[in-house]
Each structure stands twice: as C-alpha cells, then as structure tokens.
Amino acid sequence: MGRKYFGTDGVRGLANAYPMTAEMALKIGAAAGRYFRRDGAQTHRVVIGKDTRLSGYMFENALTAGLTSTGMNVLLLGPVPTPAVGLLTPSMRADFGIMISASHNPHHDNGIKFFGPDGFKLSDEAEEEIERLIDAGLEPAKPENIGRAKRIDDGRYRYIERVKSSFPYGMSLNGLKVVIDCANGAAYRAAPEVLWELGAEVIPVGTSPNGKNINEGCGSTKPQTAAETVVAHGADVAICLDGDADRVLIVDETGRVADGDQIMGLMASRWAADGRLAGNALVATVMSNLGLERFLSGRGIGLERTAVGDRYVVERMRSGGFNLGGEQSGHIVMTDYSTTGDGLMAGLQFLAEMVRTGRKASELSDTFEPVPQLLKNVRFQAGQTPLEMDIVKAIIADAETRLAANGRLLIRKSGTEPLIRVMAECEDDGLLNTVVDDVVGVIEKATA
C-alpha cells in the first residue's frame, strides 16, 4: 500500500498549500493523537519542536489544536534541532514527538516529522495507519478530556548537555577557531553555545533567523559563505548545519568542503581502529560514492547500502546491530548517542579527532579519492509520472548499458520535492557527463 501524504521524511510541501495547510495539520495532529492513544491509558503527551520558518507558528498551533482535541497533552519546545526532538521524546516519557521542519528546503516549504516513544522515526506501517485515520475523519475527546498545552523553556539546554556528553570526557576545544554555520535555522543558539562551552573560539554564521532566511545563502546546502569566513578569519575549520541541524558538512582551513561520505569514512576507520564500530560495518545509502566503498573495503570494513533516506539507514542499523551510518548529504547517525542524524554531534566527533591527532582539518577530511559523480535534478509538474513514460524508460535502459562496465546509474524520484534525481558514477568523465545529460534531456522533454 503506497503512502498518500507521507514522503521519505514525513509530510512536506509548500506552506499554506495542500497538503501543508493549517487545516491539514490539524487533521494530522488529531489522527496522530488517536493513533498513539490506542492503549487506553489516561495520560498521554507529545513533544513538539520546530525550526525558524515563519510558517512554524501556524503549524505549531494547528497541530496543538488537533492533538489536544483528542486528549493529548502537548509540550512545546520551541525552536530546537530535529535530533533534540528524538532525544527528548523518550527523556520526557512522551508517547511520540513531532518536528515541524522542511530541513534543507527554502523557507516557503515546511514539513511534519514524527518520532515514536523510543525517539526513532516511525515505520512506513505506522505512517500508513495514521494516513488511514486522517481520511477517517476527526474523533474528538469528551470536553472533560481535552488535552493541555505547555511551553517547555529548557528544551534547548537539555539538548546542549546531551550533545556535550558525546564529546570525549576531559578533552576541550581550547585553541581551535571554529566557524559554525547554523543556516539561520533551529540550532542558531544551541550550536554556538555548545562549541563555546567546550572551549572553542567561535565565529558564528547564519545565526540571525527572521522566519524567511533559513538555508538562504548559508548552511550545508550553501557552504560557500562558511568557506569564505574560514579563510577570512584564519579559522581552523567550519561546521555547516542545515535548517534543522540533522545534516553537517565540514569546511577545512583552506575553504575546501567535505561531504558526508568523507566524514563517515573518517569516523568508520577511527571507530574500527578503536574496536567500537559495531558489526565492523558502516550503513549508507545507494547515493554514497563508490570511492567510500573501496576505501572501507581496503580496511576490512563492510558497507551496507540502503534506499535513500536517513530513516532507512536507521532501520538497517537497528535490524543489523550497527552503530554508525548516514548519507552523503551529511546525515550522520550515531546510535550510541542519538536516534537520528545529528549534525552538531557529528561535527564534534570531527573536532575531537582534530584534537586527538593534532592534524589539520584538510588532512582529516580528505579521507578517500571519490569516483567522479554527477547529480542533476529535473523538476516535474503535479500529476506527472516521468519514470513510467516509455521514452524515459528507454533512455534509462540505454544509459545503464553504456555504464555497465565503467560505473553505475541511479534514477529516483525525490521523496520531499517534485524532482527526478539523476545520478551517475564513472571513471570516464566524458562518458559520465554525456550519459547524465542524455537522461536529463529526455526527462525534460517528456515533462515539458
């Protein structure tokens, strides 16, 4: 059964347009409230966090209305990173958690992500059941059973302490000049505070949110600002987060950017050397570079690949007993410390390695030589199904044949935007560009 409202990471779309309307958010809240009240207990609670988007106020209020109408008590955390909701949901003994965010998307988008009582994202089956309850309509509680809403003022501080606990005890960042780019998003206060408390000289970027500038010209999707800041200030390193701080990229002292694959390669090899890499394997998606796989294989470390989406990475980690995984985009999941991707925690692991080894960021972030990789996106209109068109199927089959002995091709529909993502890897740059351009050209014509 396909999901109707949920994508790869919750419900997401243009704010104030279906399905991301206040009316729909109320229905989603009411359906989730019904789903998590099934055990018949008298007291139920949910924690809600959000990033800094202007529309967050609207969705926070609408969700609260829907949830309290079913008898759920709502604990409002305000602006906090997505991983804070994953951490605080079980800590506060909540039945589930909700994060209002569209992650790395522009301010005009928003989304609703769910976490179960254990702090992990919901399964496909749970989301399908919530969808069924949305379509079934509202079922309000009796007047005397309506829930309450309460502001939680110390959620950020609880998260800060948990993040710092992931940093090696007795180690400090004294002497390190660190640029922290918060993308004008959810970590705009927490991230600089963590680094300062650990002893770093902090140079903040993207810490002045106004509701409309989240991810705008900064953060992990636009690391150029951080790179320029590193060079201008003579900083040692930059940590670039996205709007909800579940992703990270590293910028070294020369301004060169390292993606999630390079960070995971460093962490996996370090953890394996220390005997702490569970299952002696890293879990990553089909998007991770072939160079990472070769690097790990050369060190006797396995690579488990999953579908795209950090939730699928986490599902494989939990089923296989692995403790490190992530995505090329910068989601780094360390289940020893967190239940979902945490950009700040992953950034601290990189800084800890800098302190431990005394090596520069440029030495540590250049973990392996990546195989040339090219990714292009093709936007399509609502109602179109490009990947089902015969002309598109034909060009994809032809491209796969041409790459068969030299690389690989991955075509997928985005789970968060109306995009077809065309990605290929190949040692031959000329063939790589030709194949991707041919596929993109056909899809563009088919959807024009």
pLDDT greater than 70 at residue 270: yes
pTM of the full structure: 0.90
Q: What is the pLDDT of residues 202-233, one digit of tens each?
A: 999 999 999 999 999 999 999 999 999 999 99
Residues 82, 210 share a domain: no
Q: Is residue 360 part of a domain?
A: no
Tell me, yes or no, whether 310 and 395 share the same domain. Answer: no
Query: Residue 339 above 90 pLDDT?
Result: yes
Same domain, yes or no: 123 and 182 = no
Domain identity same for 437 and 424? yes
Residue 47 in any domain: the answer is yes
Could you tell me which residues are beta bridge partners of residue 412?
421
Verify whether residue 103 is a known catalytic residue: yes
Least confident of 4-13, 49-58, 186-195, 343-352: 4-13
Average pLDDT over residues 87-98: 97
265 and 217, same domain (yes or no): no
Considering the domain boundaries, does residue 138 fall inside one? yes
Same domain, 136 and 264: no
CATH of the domain at 59: 3.40.120.10
231 and 131, same domain (yes or no): no
pLDDT at 383: 85
Of 125, 156, 187, which residue constitutes the final position of a domain? 156
Q: Is residue 285 part of a domain?
A: yes
Residue where a domain terminates, one of 96, 123, 156: 156
Domain count within the chain: 4
Residue 333 and residue 222 in one domain = no
- Out of 103, 166, 220, 365, the active site residue is 103
Q: Which of 231, 255, 279 is the last residue of a domain?
A: 255
Same domain, 41 and 115: yes
